[in-house]
Structure formats: C-alpha cells, structure tokens
Amino acid sequence: MEDWMPPSDLAAAVAAEGLCDRCLGRMFAKLGTGMTNDVRGALIRESIGSAKVEEEDCPLCGGTFLDMDLFADAVAEEVTAVESDNFLVGSKADPAALALEKEIWQRHSLDAFESIKTELNREIGKAALPMIHRPVEFKTPQCVACIDTRFAEVSLDLSPIFIKGRYLKFSREIPQTIWPCRVCHGKGCSRCNGTGKMYQTSVQEIIGDIALRMFDGKEHFFHGMGREDIDARCLGEGRPFVLEISQPRKRKVDLEELAHAANQSELANYLRLEYTDRAEVKRTKTAEPTKTYRVLVKADGKVNKEEVINAALSFRNVHLDQRTPRRVEHRRADLVRDREILWVEAEVLGDDTFSLTLETQSGTYVKEFVSGDEGRCVPSFSGALGVQCRVTELDVIAINEGFK
C-alpha cells in the first residue's frame, strides 16, 4: 500500500457509505498529491477491494459533477456579459448533501477531507476558464459567479467602483446627499409628491444617477469630506468626495465623459475625477481638515467699521465652547464641543451688513459662532461686537485638507 493511503479499515468504513470514487477520494483529499479526487478514490477503492459506485448513484453528490459542462457554460455566459479584469467561481450545493457530508466527517473522525463546495468551485472554475479569457483572482475578485448546482442558476456579485473627486455646489437649495422625506421616510406621500425625498435632487444624485447608467450599476452611495448646509454654497477648489457604484456591469467608463455629462447641471460641478479604492472612503470620511468660509452678516442695528474689524482681529487661535445648535439638536447628541477659530477677516458693506472670511477647525458651527446661538456658543462674534448678528449667506471657499 502506498504511503499516502489511509488505514484500510477506515477506508473500508468510509467506502461503505456508498460513495462514488470522487466523493470517496474527497474524504481523504489532503492525502497524496498530484491527483484528482476521483483518481484518489479509485486507488483507495482498489486497495480495499470495494465495489465501484457510479456517480449518479452516490448518496452524497448524486451525479452533480456529471453536469460540469452545463455549470461551466452557465458561469461563462454570465461572466462574459459583464466587464471585469478577473473572476472567481463560488457555488451553492444541495443542503442535504452538505449535511450528509458533515455527518460522514464526524462519524469517521476524518481530518483530511475537502468540502464538496470547494471541489465544485475549483472544477467549475477550471472548466469555465477557457471560455472566459480572464484570470482567476482569489483575494479581491471583481466578479464572483455563484452557481446554484441544483438549478444551474448563476448570480453575480460585482465589486463596487469607487471614484474620487471634488464637487462645487452652486445652489442654496439642494443637499449633499439624498434626503428621505421626513413624513413618509422614503415610501412616497403627498408631502413629497410620491418621490420619497425632501428635495428633488442633490449633489449625490446629479452625478450618481448619470454614473449609475454609465456603469450599469445597481445603486450609488456618496461619501463626502464633511458636508455644508443646504443653504450654503461650496466654492473654490471644491469639497473632496468618493462616489461608490454597487454591482457595476461595466467598469471601463471614461471619467471625463462622466464629468462632462454631470457638469451640464447649473446646480453643481465635479472636478478631478479618478478611480480609487475602498480605502479612500475611510480616508475621506475620517479626515479633519480646517475649512475657510465667507459669510454675509446682518446686524440688529448700525455697526461701526473699526469695531467690526477689531472684533474680527480678536479671534485668532481662539477656542470656542459650542453646545449642539438648536437647529440640529433633533438629530445630534446634546454636547459641548471645543472648536477653534484660527483667524477672521472683516469687510463692512453697509450700515448693518458686513462680510467675514474665517478659517476654522473641522466641525465648527459657523452660523452659531456669529450669532452666539442664544448663549450656546461662547465666545461669539456677536458677543465680541456687542451687537446681535446673524448669517444671511454662507459659502465654503476652501477645504484645507492634506491629501489630494
């Protein structure tokens, strides 16, 4: 008997389960090298003098492997219908077969076995490979074709596309991302005219809907480096973002064409688009850049130009205690946050109006810094000036982040 052979009494006990050569060999798959499971099983059967069992009569596989060409054709048809640089085959086996397989392992205390799913994945992949003309990728496949071997039905799991860039927001009437209707929570009602949304479009949808069509994807997600209020514009070089497209059947889209199509909008523009990976989402979401704003301010009464300028100059590297603003306390925890104003510059425009340009720590509520928010922000510009003020317009003019 060859060195790799299992003990004859164990081999005979397992063969007595009525297994075909392939399934018998799979029970000892880690013994011996350079042979397939059916060859291994035939050699084991010969060594113990067991009668041959046809695959279609096997209680474990039931002849599943006889349909290998059918499975490979089904996988190849689905995979070649989508764009990908590589692929991987997965499978769903009959639950009864998986349960019986586990019983056999446990009943005979086997430790050198291979799962029927592993063999199906490997053999279907090998049979399909010549028809697909793409390499197999085990770690990060772009396309996973999972075949249900009971019905020869294939489902595809396609890795997402990630596109990074910057956006400019020109409108003071759209949000950054899709905003579900507060009344129906996205189901559609009279408040939202059946759309399920508070606002009919967003920075996300303007580019996302176009990208979804171009990539033939299922859904889009938008990951911004922070966000501005709906009534704020985002100007300058824009705000960094990552657009994610799920289940894309196409992967080779010209991003210049995508930007050109999206930039037909008068509400927002998109710059410096390039392909990236999932790690960029985390970098974007966790970045804490300083922000530069320009705000138009109206005071409750006339203001003195010199006093406005002096008040602005007094805020250099000044820390604020900012309690969660009243306007967002319904969706944010009621906390007092330490935030820093790096510098402020002022320009008086009229008796009761002036503009401020300021750089702040990430997460600073600028409107509340100006108004004081009824004492919830200390110190405040209103407090320093001695006149109650409020922001009438706000623009983000720079996101001072450290990576492109």
- Catalytic positions, written as ranges: 229
Residue 100 to residue 14: CA distance in whole angstroms: 12
Residue in the block written with tokens 């990539």: 215
Could you tell me the CA-to-CA distances from 218 to 105, 159, 209, 323 in Å, in that order? 41, 12, 10, 40
**What is the C-alpha to C-alpha distance for residues 188 and 223, in angstroms, rounded to an integer?**
25
Question: Residue 95 class from Cβ within 10 Å (0-12 exposed, 13-18 middle, 19+ buried)?
Answer: exposed
Q: Report yes or no: 215 and 249 within 8 Å, Cβ to Cβ.
A: yes
Single-letter amino acid code for the residue at 398: A
Residues 6+ apart with CB under 8 A from 119: 22, 26, 29, 37, 65
3-state class of 65 per DSSP? helix
Distances, alpha carbon 97 to alpha carbons 20, 59, 150, 151, in Å: 13, 8, 11, 15
Contact 389, 370 (CB under 8 A): yes
**What span, in angstroms and rounded, lies between the C-alpha atoms of 150 and 117?**
13
DSSP string over 148-210: ETTTTEEEEEEPPEEEEEEEEE--SS--SS--B-TTTTTS--TTTTTS-BSSS--HHHHHHHH
- Confirm if 134 and 79 have CB atoms less than 8 A apart: yes
Strands laid side by side in the 88-92 sheet: 88-92, 143-148, 153-158
Cα-based angle 275, 279, 280 (whole degrees, multiple of 5): 50
